Amino acid sequence: MAAPLATPRLEQRLATVLEGLTPCVVAFSGGVDSGVVGALAHARDPSGVLLVTFTGPAVAREEVDRAVRTARFIGAPHRRVPLDPVNDRRYASNPLDRCYFCRSLEGDALASLARSEGFPWVLDGIHRDDLGDDRPGVRAMDERGIRHPLLEAGLGKADVRALAREIGLPNWDTPSNSCLASRIRTGEPITREMLTRVEAAEAILHREGFRQVRVRTSQGMATLELDRQELPRLAIGGLLPRIAEEVRRLGFTEVTVDPEGYRPAGLRRRGPRAEPP
């Protein structure tokens, strides 16, 4: 990952891209990427920005709560919109391009809301580093004319975090996250029950103070992924057996720990363990 540029220059580059892109609706997950877009768009046009967060079975409640807190900090109007992609059989079958169907539903909902309320633009938080892997979700958003200000400004993840820290966003160092469906092995059906189970298992890990977590599931088994620097904590005070028992009680048949720790989806696909994404 390239070193971030000086933050005044970053802010100017993004401000230049945002010229003419308000009033707008911002797809707002509450993560650092959409947080920066929402904050700077709102600073530019305080009366012309609506932050929209989708809720539903594939979105952890913790993520929604974070979006609410971040939107409150920014000071822009914020709306939560229910969306259940599990109703789409193409998504629920969990193919390799699953994200295309989810983002298509989200993109259509955002575009419809923007049209009905007179917002000419819809923006999201996609940035330069998001293009390193096959991203069918990006294609779905492109097909719907949704703009990517961070990408258009040439910003990567390190740049975004540096800018978020500079402007004082409270979530500037929040670990990256993705929808709960990404934890289910490709090809295995996505069900609301499994999404709820995964969310509950990850909540156990967060409660124990782990920040970067994934609970991957395949054939009813759970694999815990944690930041490699945090893995040694599992051996202290019988923590791992206690966590494993709590996770099993949720309905998983077996609980293991990935000794390699958390890896972004792109690195996992290039490694020997090709699934899940």
Tens digits of residue pLDDT in 57-92: 999 999 999 999 999 999 999 999 999 999 999 999
Identify the pLDDT of residue 103: 97
Domain boundaries of the chain, sorted by first residue: 7-167, 180-270
Residue 64 has phi, psi (to 5 degrees) of -65, -45
Token reading at 231: 């893995």
Identify the pLDDT of residue 139: 93
Identify the pLDDT of residue 152: 96
Model-level pTM? Answer: 0.90
Distance (Å, whole) CA 137 – CA 17: 22
Q: At what angle do helices 192-207 and 239-249 cross, to 10 degrees?
A: 160
Element (H, E) at 51: strand 49-55
CATH of the domain spanning 7-167, picked from 3.40.50.620, 3.40.50.10490, 3.30.420.40, 1.10.3210.10: 3.40.50.620
Does a cis peptide bond (omega within 30 degrees of 0) precede residue 276? yes
How far CA 99 is from CA of 17, 35, 102, 179, in Å, comes to 26, 21, 5, 9
Q: Strand, helix or coil at 49?
A: strand
Distance (Å, whole) CA 11 – CA 20: 16
Please give the average per-residue pLDDT across 1-29, as a whole number: 84
The CATH architecture assigned to 180-270 reads 2-Layer Sandwich (3.30)
Identify the pLDDT of residue 4: 57
Sheet arrangement for strand 213-218? 213-218, 221-226, 254-257
The answer to whether 50 touches 25, Cβ cutoff 8 Å, is yes
The answer to whether 156 touches 129, Cβ cutoff 8 Å, is yes
The answer to whether 139 touches 104, Cβ cutoff 8 Å, is no
The answer to whether 222 touches 255, Cβ cutoff 8 Å, is yes
**Topology match between the domains 7-167 and 180-270:** no
- In this model, does residue 169 exceed pLDDT 50? yes
Token reading at 247: 């996770």
Distance (Å, whole) CA 115 – CA 121: 9
- Mean of all residue pLDDT scores within the chain: 92
